[in-house]
Amino acid sequence: MDSEYALQVKGLSKRFGPIAALDQVDFALSKGEIHAIAGENGAGKSTFMNLISGVLRPSAGEIWINGERATLASPAEAQALGVWFVHQEISLCPDVSVAENIMMAATGASKSLFVDYRAIRQQAERAIAPLASLPVNALVSRLSISDQQIVEIAKALVLECRILILDEPTAAVTEREAQALFNVMRDLRARGVSILYISHRMAEIFEVCDRVSVFRDGKYVATERVAETTPERIGSLMVGRDLGDLYPDKASASEPKTLVLSIKDLQGDRFFDVSFNIHRGEILGFGGLIGAGRSEILRAVCGLYPREGGVVEMNGACLRISSYCDAVNAGIVYLSEDRKSEGLFLEMSIARNVAALDLQNVSTSYGFVSKQSEDAQARRLGSVVGLKTNRISAQVSSLSGGNQQKVAIAKLLAVDPKIVLLDEPTRGVDVGAKSEIHRLLRELTRKGVCVVVVSSELPELIGLCDRVLMVREGRIAGEVAGDKMTEENMIAMASDISEASRAQAANLQLEA
């Protein structure tokens, strides 16, 4: 194999019984490049990363690192060859210091009977200094997620990492923190470190990566230079078909607007004097920086967050909503941004999840749940949301992120809602599922349902919503619609940038 590559694989395959999770993959990573791995959920990305980091052993194929064939029986063996995997779920020890985390592996390999903490701090400071200014004596539990990722990277560099794998590193960080991470990645690239970057976010791939390789159905599809391709081209390669427009057509501006929900002077500990209206058949967006109060506003409307004042009116009648049950009975439903802990019962079946919000829909006159009714409802709503599975008895934990989100939406639709509030509805789903969810939401509006979406992705707000309210420090900073719905205007409202400074605001971003 060619020694100019940091990593090469030939015919790499992994089978789990009769299922081929990865099938005959050929791939090459150049030295000193940032290389994105793109693909839908279930495309084989995670299996590929687990093979080259020693978490899994291949069923067939070869792995070559720096021109020499490698047999990776464990993560420790991969790390010894310079391969380090920073997982989406941070795996640091939260109750010890930054320095102890950075030097943990090196200390464990030492044969000394005593720990020289002063030396550990000094070495940790040297390792992290090129990346960020972090106090090495601080407890990891007190750091932000982005700073914890920096600690993970510093830990890898202490062990002379030459191939760094980053799995969705910006999933839980702000845009400013993401930009800081990108700067670290560029610095590592300049120092000759090769980076494999997994992300569902096309904007990030096209901002920071040199090349992008696409996987689909466990197979390698293609590699393209970022400077010579487009997000649409990569999206089409991922799903194996032309996606067309990612966003469906919006409601006509000339259509009459019927007021459905009116929020007046909503007050709480994270929001102030919030007033807005929602009309039948529209998608209303909420944008803003992290911590601005967007999620709290939506949760307060449906009784999931305490409010100290304000009026909620539906069709002219005042609603008394003191709990989520009151909201559901009024026709208002909410989907949390954290679907795994707040939106779904992962160890329960698809059918049980869909029925969970209102068991009366699937119960007999004697008060017992009818499995036949439960299954029929799940099949019907699964078809409505485009759920891709043949087994409604399957546990939700076994589904891809996109299909889990569809189950969560189906659960809301089971109560025939009038208002659907969605917090980050496409977070952590691939581009194909994202397009399907967008079309589903627009189809709901055509049936008269009002849809409200909180999103941290400006292109999603612009492409999907009819109007967008920008939230800043707990207040509605402004509204954009039509040709005024631009990233510059939205960033300016969210960041309190003056009109004269908007030209300089184009390079800023909201939280990712």
Read off the pLDDT of residues 145-202 as tens digits, 9 standing for 90 and up: 778 888 888 888 887 889 999 988 887 666 777 888 899 899 999 999 999 999 878 8
Per domain, the residue ranges of the chain are: 5-239, 259-507
CB-hemisphere CA count at 13 Å for 267?
5
Crossing angle of helices 431-446 and 231-239, rounded to 10°: 90
pLDDT greater than 50 at residue 431: yes
Crossing angle of helices 175-190 and 145-158, rounded to 10°: 10
Identical fold for domains 5-239 and 259-507, yes or no, is: yes
Distance CA 264, CA 266 (A): 6
CB-hemisphere CA count at 13 Å for 258?
10
Distance CA 420, CA 415 (A): 11
Q: What is the mean pLDDT of residues 41-63?
A: 90
The arrangement of secondary structure in 5-239, i.e. its CATH architecture, is: 3-Layer(aba) Sandwich (3.40)
Q: What is the pLDDT of residue 1?
A: 57
28-to-36, 222, 319, 376 alpha-carbon distances in Å: 12, 11, 60, 48
Distance CA 471, CA 416 (A): 29
Q: Name 19's Cβ contacts closer than 8 Å, sequence gap at least 6.
A: none
pLDDT tens digits, 239-287: 776 655 678 888 877 777 899 999 999 999 999 999 999 999 999 999 9
Determine how many CB atoms are found less than 10 A away from the CB of residue 357.
18
Q: What is the mean pLDDT of residues 12-41?
A: 90
Cβ burial of 413 (10 Å; 0-12, 13-18, 19+) is buried
The CATH number fitting domain 259-507, selected from 3.30.70.20, 3.40.50.300, 3.40.50.1860, 2.40.10.480: 3.40.50.300
Letter for the amino acid at 13? S
319-to-303, 316, 331, 423 alpha-carbon distances in Å: 11, 9, 11, 22
Q: What is the pLDDT of residue 365?
A: 83
In this prediction, what percent of the chain has a pLDDT beyond 90?
Answer: 52
Contact 257, 467 (CB under 8 A): no
